[in-house]
Amino acid sequence: MSTVAYENLDKLKSFAELKRAARVELRSVLESDADRRVGAYSAPITTGMAFNYAAKAVDDTSLGLMHRLAEEAQLLEKYWALLNGEVMNTGEQRMVLHHLTRGKIGEGITANGRRLQQFYREQHERVFAFAERVHTGEIAGSTGKQFETVVQIGIGGSDLGPRAMFHALENIVVHNYGEQPLQARFISNVDPDDAAAVLAKLNPETTLFVLVSKSGTTQETLTNEAFVLDALEQSSIPGLQPRKHVVAVTSETSPLANSSEYLDAFYIDDYIGGRYSSTSPVGSVVLSLAFGPSIVQQFLDGAHAADQATFDSSIDHNAALLDALIGIYERNVLGCSATAVLPYSQALSRFPAHLQQLDMESNGKRVNRFGQPLNYHTGPLVFGEPGTNGQHSFYQLLHQGTDIIPMQFIGFRRSQLQQDLEFEGSSSQRKLNANLVAQIVAFAVGQDHEDANKAFPGARPSSLIHADRLTPQALGALLSHFENKVMFQGFVWNINSFDQEGVQLGKILTKRILSQEAGGGAAIEALRRLLAV
């Protein structure tokens, strides 16, 4: 056990001081001190990628107090404790080891006599070898045809992260490496229209399904597996063996493990939370099949590089730590209840949905890690859509609404596909980024106007993560940055960011309804009639 202390946020002296500190006049300081702020208020995430917080409502005084808060709350010590295998998931009494799936840290950690980093690496190696054999055709469909499409069946962390990563890489991989080895699709919802619509466009003979459920008991995923297997049976293709078109990603103790009926199985364990599992086989199987192992290795390396940058004990250079602390300041001092994630990159169109799960499922908690109710706010609502699309949608409220919603912009100097056109004096990429810069300034500085309807109050804070281009490494670093930010915020709030007890009651009531058990209660009996269940 480590010697770190776990205190509630409102017990910390530095937090009390941060609340008393003078508020920053963002409207004026961003203009009056622009060069210094944009230059100095920047921290590296990995080579060529940085977190810039010049347009956040902070100054040297408040940043100094955040530095003290980080020390008083022992945030880096807690990160080290986590990496050293301390039981950080206190509710479920588990270690939290997703960083080890990148394959480069936590070598000494063992469970049941097994070195876990080595175990995770071996699984990736098995995944890579499997993908290569599929790509060469050595492993083929049960009727002898080469696989052309991979379909991930999973929900929550087994869907949102891998799906966001797939969409982020799809175009750049095709551009740089030619055709994708396999096309990819996803089935997640228990709504039968989801699976039916995906299956309608597939050839069963050339499709490989990846069934992802750590516990092997997820209702939606097992239902969709049955749905898919039934559809394959119904196709009546001579010689087709449906289960030989399925690989499982699960834990070794799950009902799905070691089923000789599947084509193969790859393993994770209880130390990898679903929403933190994109760098485990939960993500690496579908991504290796779709893009090839070398792309996935670059993605893992990017995540590791950002993990390493997060060791930096100087807050000024620790992007994830800074991002976390500024978010705490906005949530618990400025009183903001939501955060918008706004990637100026079409490839990141589903990245906000992943962050929504990562952040809200991790930190949407009302008790501390010891199970005691808290009397301060924890995780904010997280939402977003890609810019410039959002500008023509909800930005109206962000600019002129009655609540202040802090923002996190993400931008890249170059596009992924490098196909562009000069039109009216500028390329599309330049227009995209000009819009991004204009929004940061419009939100922060605002504009006076004699017509109040055309006035912009400004003082809307935003940060900017920027890099040259959205490559597999950059994507891995971006993923890790937010994982580590969320982790640090959980430490500050003194909560357990790694369980999700809030999903249990719905599961119990659903089972009660489906089993027609009595005792569901009057509300269930009255409501079920409306939906014929």
Using CB under 8 A, pick the residue from 149, 277, 439, 471 that binds its own copies. Answer: 439
- The interface region with its own copies, picked from 100-108, 140-148, 253-261, 511-519 by CB under 8 A, is 511-519
Decide whether 66 or 432 has the Cβ nearer to its own copies.
Answer: 432
Q: Work out whether 217 is an interface residue with its own copies (CB under 8 A).
A: no
Give the residue among 107, 150, 102 at the shortest CA–CA distance from 276. Answer: 102
Q: Work out whether 431 is an interface residue with its own copies (CB under 8 A).
A: yes
Pairing of strands 381-383, 338-344: parallel
Q: Work out whether 8 is an interface residue with its own copies (CB under 8 A).
A: no
Count of residues touching its own copies (by CB under 8 A): 156
- The interface region with its own copies, picked from 77-85, 126-134, 204-212, 413-421 by CB under 8 A, is 413-421
Q: The tokens of 375 are what?
A: 């009397």
Decide whether 295 or 444 has the Cβ nearer to its own copies.
Answer: 444
Min separation Cβ 108 and its own copies, Å: 30
Q: The tokens of 66 are what?
A: 């955040």
Q: What share of the chain is helix, strand, coil (3-state, %, to 5)?
A: 50, 15, 35
Decide whether 314 or 453 has the Cβ nearer to its own copies.
Answer: 453
Residues between 458 and 497 that touch its own copies (CB under 8 A): 464, 466, 496
Please list the alpha-helical segments (H only) found in 89-191.
Answer: 116-136, 160-177
The Cα angle at residue 112 between residues 110 and 114, in degrees rounded to 5? 50
Q: Which residue is associated with the tokens 């719905």?
A: 506
Residues between 279 and 338 that touch its own copies (CB under 8 A): 337-338
Residues 61-100, mask of contacts with its own copies (x by CB under 8 A): ------------------------------x---------
Which residue is catalytic, options 220, 225, 361, 483?
A: 361
Residues between 239 and 268 that touch its own copies (CB under 8 A): none
Decide whether 117 or 218 has the Cβ nearer to its own copies.
Answer: 218
Residues 20-59, mask of contacts with its own copies (x by CB under 8 A): ----------xxx-xx-xxx------------x-xx----
**3-state secondary structure string across 419-440:** CCCEECCEEHHHHHHHHHHHHH
Question: Are the beta carbons of 69 and 15 closer than 8 angstroms?
Answer: yes
Beta bridge partners of 151: 185, 209
Q: Work out whether 429 is an interface residue with its own copies (CB under 8 A).
A: yes
Rounded to whole angstroms, the Cα distance separating 168 from 350 reads: 8
Give the residue among 469, 477, 464, 471 at the shortest CA–CA distance from 42. Answer: 464
DSSP label of 332: I
Residues 164-203, mask of contacts with its own copies (x by CB under 8 A): ------xx--x-------------xxxxxxxxxx--x---
Neighbouring residues of 116: CB distance < 8 A, sequence distance ≥ 6: 97, 100, 106, 109, 110, 269, 271
Which residue type does 442 have?
A: A
For residue 523, what is the enclosing H or E element?
helix 522-530
Q: Work out whether 433 is an interface residue with its own copies (CB under 8 A).
A: yes
The Cα angle at residue 96 between residues 91 and 101, in degrees rounded to 5? 155
* 449 belongs to the catalytic site: no
Q: Work out whether 156 is an interface residue with its own copies (CB under 8 A).
A: yes
- The interface region with its own copies, picked from 77-85, 310-318, 437-445, 476-484 by CB under 8 A, is 437-445
**Residue 389: exposure state from Cβ atoms within 10 A (0-12, 13-18, ≥19):** middle
Residues between 376 and 405 that touch its own copies (CB under 8 A): 376-379, 381-383, 385-389, 391-403, 405
Question: Three-state DSSP class for 414?
Answer: coil
* 361 belongs to the catalytic site: yes
Min separation Cβ 396 and its own copies, Å: 4
Decide whether 14 or 433 has the Cβ nearer to its own copies.
Answer: 433
* 483 belongs to the catalytic site: no
Q: The tokens of 430 are what?
A: 């330049």
Q: Work out whether 216 is an interface residue with its own copies (CB under 8 A).
A: no
Using CB under 8 A, pick the residue from 144, 178, 236, 421 that binds its own copies. Answer: 421
Which residue is catalytic, options 19, 175, 454, 507?
A: 507
CA dihedral 97, 320, 486, 160 (to 10 degrees): -80
Residues between 334 and 373 that touch its own copies (CB under 8 A): 337-338, 344-347, 353, 356-357, 360-361, 363-367, 371-373
Q: How does 400-425 read in b/e, with b if 16+ C-beta sit within 10 Å?
A: eeeebbbbbbbbbeebbeeeeeeeee
Min separation Cβ 405 and its own copies, Å: 7
Min separation Cβ 104 and its own copies, Å: 29
The Cα angle at residue 401 between residues 396 and 405, in degrees rounded to 5? 90
- The interface region with its own copies, picked from 204-212, 221-229, 243-251, 322-330 by CB under 8 A, is 221-229
What are the catalytic residues? 361, 392, 507
